[in-house]
């Protein structure tokens, strides 16, 4: 099996994507190739044995082979012909914009490139925190109270303390906890630096959080263990930056059988059928024995490998069992019948 890691993109999380992609070398044991999407959205074939973070920060990648997405895959020019990069599937590891907002999924679909990652609809819903809330509510999954505000309407009615998040951004970028009214305007200014819309939620101190990842292969969902992440106020950017390079396995959380099944049930409801073909991680809060969705990570850092016992085999099995795209026949029979009725060839 030959898999291509597609990473980078024009995103605030561009550097995190690089870190995440490099980490996968340690946990996926089939043949890997690396395809980098730079800030100008040009694609490059990066030598797997030479991939380092400095290769990108120093611009050395510009000397690598430039690729073009075309029907069926990626191609490069060689003398007087185009050569296809041989691969079985690609793994979308672009975090944030381009990778999680649906752009790269649209490109893969358009060019009939098989990929592990969220499809267009799944990307749009999970990238927008407001849409995620609506999606969860439609499935009868609990969510925290929230308010959506804009630059022109900053009115907040939720009582302090609150947490303020840019609507379409991950990795805790632009996120602030506001405990005093004097901190509010600055926190809003920070969030609006990254997005024109902001989500406001009550900040829950000492809340217990549980993370679970998984994907559907065949007729079954393969779940990871359930982790209870250790954190302070919230996982800030620096902590999440380190998380994206994680490859060491974590300990399974001690939860009751009832809570274990409720978290799995909530994950399954969120996953099927919207996220089929992707490895996702869902983060849940437990408050007074009730499970609440915090967020859906459609492209978790290093694909949350640290939560799985057999991550490499999971990825390869998923690559073999990706959803099949419906082939739409185009026969021109309607045009021909109309033309014939008009007496025209």
pTM, 2 dp: 0.90
The domain that holds 167 is classified in CATH as 3.30.1490.20
Stretch among 53-62, 108-117, 238-247, 266-275 having the lowest mean pLDDT? 238-247
Per-residue pLDDT tens over the stretch 21-30: 999 999 999 9
Per-residue pLDDT tens over the stretch 184-206: 999 999 999 999 999 999 998 88
User: What is 288-303 written as a DSSP string?
Assistant: TTEEEEEEEESS-GGG
Tell me, yes or no, whether 215 and 312 share the same domain: yes
Let me know if residue 344 belongs to a domain.
no
Q: Is the pLDDT of residue 345 over 80?
A: no
Structural domain including 51 reads: 2-118
| Whole-number pLDDT of residue 340 | 72
Tell me, yes or no, whether 62 and 162 share the same domain: no
Tell me, yes or no, whether 130 and 157 share the same domain: no
Per-residue pLDDT tens over the stretch 91-118: 999 999 999 999 999 999 999 999 999 9
Let me know if residue 75 belongs to a domain.
yes
User: What's the pLDDT band for 338 if we cut at 50, 70, 90?
Assistant: confident
| Whole-number pLDDT of residue 321 | 97
Mean pLDDT of 304-333: 93
| Whole-number pLDDT of residue 96 | 92
Neighbours of 41 (CB within 10 A): 13
User: What is 126-177 written as a DSSP string?
Assistant: HHSHHHHHHHHHHTT-EE---EEEETTB----SPSSEEEEETT--TTTT-EE
The domain that holds 12 is classified in CATH as 3.40.50.20
Mean pLDDT of 248-272: 95
| Whole-number pLDDT of residue 80 | 86
Provide the 3-class DSSP secondary structure of residue 107.
helix
Backbone angles phi, psi at 90, to 5 degrees: -115, 155
The C-alpha angle with vertex 248 and arms to 245 and 251, in degrees rounded to 5, equals 125
Identify whether the C-beta of residue 3 lies closer than 8 Å to the C-beta of residue 88. yes
Domains held by the chain: number: 3
Tell me, yes or no, whether 111 and 130 share the same domain: no
Mean pLDDT of 168-196: 91
| CB contact set of 188 (below 8 Å; sequence gap of 6+) | 149, 154, 164, 198
Q: Facing residues of 164 across strands?
A: 176, 200
Identify whether the C-beta of residue 93 lies closer than 8 Å to the C-beta of residue 22. no
Let me know if residue 96 belongs to a domain.
yes
Tell me, yes or no, whether 129 and 240 share the same domain: yes
Name the one residue in this structure whose structure tokens are 């809570």: 259
| Whole-number pLDDT of residue 234 | 54
Tell me, yes or no, whether 295 and 248 share the same domain: yes
Let me know if residue 328 belongs to a domain.
no
Over its C-alpha atoms, the chain yields an Rg (Å, rounded) of 22
């Amino acid at each position: 099996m030959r898999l291509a890691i597609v990473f980078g993109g024009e995103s605030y999380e561009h550097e995190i994507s690089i870190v995440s992609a490099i980490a996968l070398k340690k946990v996926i044991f089939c043949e890997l190739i690396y395809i980098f999407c730079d800030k100008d959205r040009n694609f490059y074939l990066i030598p797997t044995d030479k991939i380092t973070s400095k290769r990108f920060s120093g611009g050395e990648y510009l000397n690598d082979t430039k690729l073009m997405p075309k029907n069926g895959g990626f191609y490069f020019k060689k003398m007087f012909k185009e050569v296809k990069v041989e691969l079985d599937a690609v793994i979308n590891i672009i975090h944030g914009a381009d990778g999680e907002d649906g752009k790269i999924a649209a490109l893969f679909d358009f060019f009939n490139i098989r990929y592990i990652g969220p499809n267009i609809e799944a990307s749009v819903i999970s990238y927008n925190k407001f849409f995620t809330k609506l999606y969860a509510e439609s499935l009868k999954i609990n969510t925290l109270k929230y308010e959506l505000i804009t630059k022109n309407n900053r009115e907040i009615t939720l009582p302090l303390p609150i947490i303020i998040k840019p609507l379409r951004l991950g990795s805790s970028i632009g996120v602030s906890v506001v405990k005093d009214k004097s901190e509010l305007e600055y926190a809003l200014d920070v969030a609006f630096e990254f997005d024109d819309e902001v989500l406001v939620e009550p900040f829950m101190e000492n809340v217990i959080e549980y993370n679970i990842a998984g994907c559907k292969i065949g007729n079954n969902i393969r779940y990871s263990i359930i982790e209870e992440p250790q954190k302070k106020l919230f996982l800030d950017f620096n902590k999440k930056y380190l998380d994206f390079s994680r490859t060491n396995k974590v300990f399974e959380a001690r939860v009751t059988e009832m809570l274990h099944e409720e978290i799995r049930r909530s994950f399954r409801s969120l996953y099927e059928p919207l996220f089929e073909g992707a490895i996702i991680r869902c983060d849940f809060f437990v408050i007074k024995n009730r499970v609440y969705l915090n967020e859906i990570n459609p492209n978790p850092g290093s694909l949350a490998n640290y939560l799985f016992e057999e991550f490499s085999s999971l990825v390869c099995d998923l690559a073999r069992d990706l959803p099949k795209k419906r082939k739409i026949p185009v026969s021109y029979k309607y045009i021909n019948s109309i033309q014939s009725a008009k007496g025209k060839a």
